[in-house]
């Protein structure tokens, strides 16, 4: 059995064990939190890397955060509010946010290959890593939601309505790329925060410790 097949076999075994309940939900939430933490850290690194050569005028004409395609998805705005949401509904919100980024991440990846930026190669590599981590996290959340109940399996995907063309103008392309990435960074922070609250509640820690 070669390395790829061994890896696939291991992943299959882990998935079966998780679904069958052999792996405690708390352990699954730990793993999901590790993935979400990496996702948010990576999106922050990308944003900082883009900022090194971002035109000043771009900051003046950048769309507002309220223009992000996921802005209409209602949810808690801070930890205290998140603690008041049921665990199933909070998982549903996390999955809705993550799955709403499937197509936009493909768009970011496609445009990263022609981004007019000195760190274009590094940015393109990190965006691919974002996609991979997002996919791994999504697979883990599917398992978790199956263990948590019907409400956790409800997903409200918000389709991305923006154009796939970021434009030929260098400044416009940088602005469109940076804006979409900043939206993802904001949502990845929410996903990470909500999963940490879920992990904390699963461990039955006091609210102030979450």
Domain boundaries, the chain: 25-209
What pLDDT, on the 0 to 100 scale, is given for residue 19?
47
The whole-number pLDDT of residue 26 equals 86
62-77 per-position pLDDT tens digit: 888 889 999 998 889 8
pTM of the predicted model as reported, rounded to 2 decimal places:
0.85
DSSP string, 122-147: HHHHHHHHHHHHHHHHHHHHHHHHHH
Residue 165 has what pLDDT? 75
Whole-angstrom Cα distance, residue 143 to residue 191? 16
State whether CATH 2.60.120.620 applies to domain 25-209. Answer: no
Please give the pLDDT value at position 89. 94
| Spatial distance between the Cα atoms of 108 and 164, rounded to a whole number of angstroms | 9
* pLDDT at site 56: 76
E strand spans, the chain: none
The per-residue pLDDT for 1 is: 52
H or E element, residue 67: none
**CA separation for the pair 112, 61 (Å, rounded):** 21
Give every residue of the chain whose pLDDT is below 70, as ranges. 1-22, 58, 205-210
């Amino acid at each position: 059995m070669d390395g790829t097949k061994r890896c696939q076999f291991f992943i299959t075994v882990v998935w079966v064990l998780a679904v069958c309940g052999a792996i405690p939900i708390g352990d699954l939430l730990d793993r999901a939190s590790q993935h979400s933490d990496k996702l948010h850290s990576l999106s922050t690194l990308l944003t900082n890397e883009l900022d090194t050569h971002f035109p000043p005028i771009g900051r003046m004409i950048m769309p507002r955060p309220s223009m992000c395609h996921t802005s209409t998805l209602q949810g808690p705005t801070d930890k205290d509010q998140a603690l008041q949401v049921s665990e199933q509904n909070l998982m549903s919100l996390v999955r809705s946010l993550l799955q709403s980024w499937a197509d936009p991440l493909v768009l970011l990846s496609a445009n990263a290959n022609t981004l007019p930026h000195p760190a274009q190669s590094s940015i393109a590599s990190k965006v691919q890593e974002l996609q991979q981590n997002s996919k791994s996290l999504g697979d883990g959340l599917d398992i978790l939601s199956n263990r948590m109940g019907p409400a956790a399996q409800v997903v409200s995907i918000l389709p991305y309505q923006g154009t796939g063309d970021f434009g030929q103008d260098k400044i416009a392309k940088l602005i469109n790329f940076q804006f979409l990435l900043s939206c993802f960074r904001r949502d990845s922070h929410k996903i990470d925060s909500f999963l940490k609250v879920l992990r904390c509640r699963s461990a039955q820690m006091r609210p102030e410790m979450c």
